[in-house]
Amino acid sequence: MRPVVIASANGHQFTNGGSKTCVETAFERIARGDDVLDALVAGVTIVELDPLDDSVGVGGLPNAEGVVQLDAACMHGPRRRAGGIAASSHVREAARLARAVMDHTDHHLLVGDADVTAFARAHGFEIVEDLHSPRSRETWLEWKRRTDPLRAIADAAEREAAIDAVTNDLAREGRVNLNHLMGTINCSGVTANGDVASVTTTSGRAWKVPGRVGDSPILGAGLYVDNAVGAAGSTGRGEANLYSLSSFFIVEEMRRGAHPRDAALAALRRVRDNTVDPRHLNSRGLPNFGVKFYAVNAKGEYAGAAMYNAGGAGTFAVCDARGARQELLEPLLDGAPGD
């Protein structure tokens, strides 16, 4: 079954002006014998640097104060090492920076823009003023113009509903992609020898509270790797994934013999069952948000799964000896989050 590279759908959509997508680049490098994590980082860097993807890297949707803050993490199965960064605002290549934390420190996670920037500067990374693209800055300014008057609404639930309505209006107008409001890229790979690695990188939840860190850079949540078992990663509502430590759970399910598809669906059921706050439930008493999981075992068997199938559950990216393509995600629930 191996080797193979899998990723969220944006792993086979963006090329940053080149000829190859993330999964194509990563698989080509694995096939020629490159280190598995080096290959994956090279792949996701393409998406990070492409301003057309407004959920990752340069041009990512900013926080509520208009600052693009990036989170990233990586795990190297053969070396049993990991690295991550959070709330970084001045380095374009967040995944490479997470890899540098893994390579050059005995730590797993560096946080805080000043400290992350100082580390990056000391290790030769280019420091930029900010990570906006013209489109991301224009979108934030329009969001802020429309939402600032709503801050005066006294009732918190009413205020948040009004702000959400603005976001939906921006999506209908084509100013923002609803799928990118909590967008991310996760990419995992298995070599011909069965070595496994994974990387996740994101600009986080759109217009988040400054300093918010989601699941992406947290081991066991945004991604998890065990070289003897496989890898898993996630996109979607990070807080739900953090609570359930879903990527760790998926790998443990695969350790017990579950196929990646069944392990990912079990994690979605766990998220569903752990969602009890009325703020996060729809009229059916089910989660009013989306989560997607991507899993691959050490044999090269893989799957992707999504919480809902509305409009089709969506796709995830795959590249193996048959080439790069999008495959369908397996849905857990019928309908849409807002039903």
Q: Taking the mean position of all CA atoms in its chain, how far away is CA 269?
A: 20
Question: 90 to each of 70, 93, 132, 176, how far by Cα in Å?
Answer: 9, 9, 10, 23
Q: Is 174 exposed, middle or buried (0-12, 13-18, 19+ CB in 10 A)?
A: exposed
Tokens of 250: 């998926």
Catalytic residue among 21, 167, 184, 191: 184
Contact 295, 230 (CB under 8 A): yes
Question: 282 to each of 178, 240, 338, how far by Cα in Å?
Answer: 18, 15, 6
**E-assigned strands of the chain?**
4-8, 70-76, 81-88, 110-111, 185-190, 196-202, 223-226, 230-236, 291-297, 302-308, 315-320, 323-328, 330-333
Q: How many CB atoms lie within 10 A of CB 154?
A: 6
**Angle, alpha carbons 170-176-182 (nearest 5°):** 115
Rounded Cα–Cα distance for residues 314 and 141 (Å): 30
Q: Which amino acid makes up residue 57?
A: G
Rounded Cα–Cα distance for residues 252 and 295 (Å): 11
Tokens of 9: 């759908």
Angle at which helices 113-122 and 94-104 pack, to 10 degrees?
Answer: 70
Per-residue b or e along 312-337, where b marks 16 or more CB atoms closer than 10 Å to that residue's CB = ebbbbbbbbeeebebeebbbbbeeeb
- Max Cα distance, the chain (Å): 60
Whether 147 is catalytic: no
Contact 331, 309 (CB under 8 A): yes
Residues known to be catalytic: 184
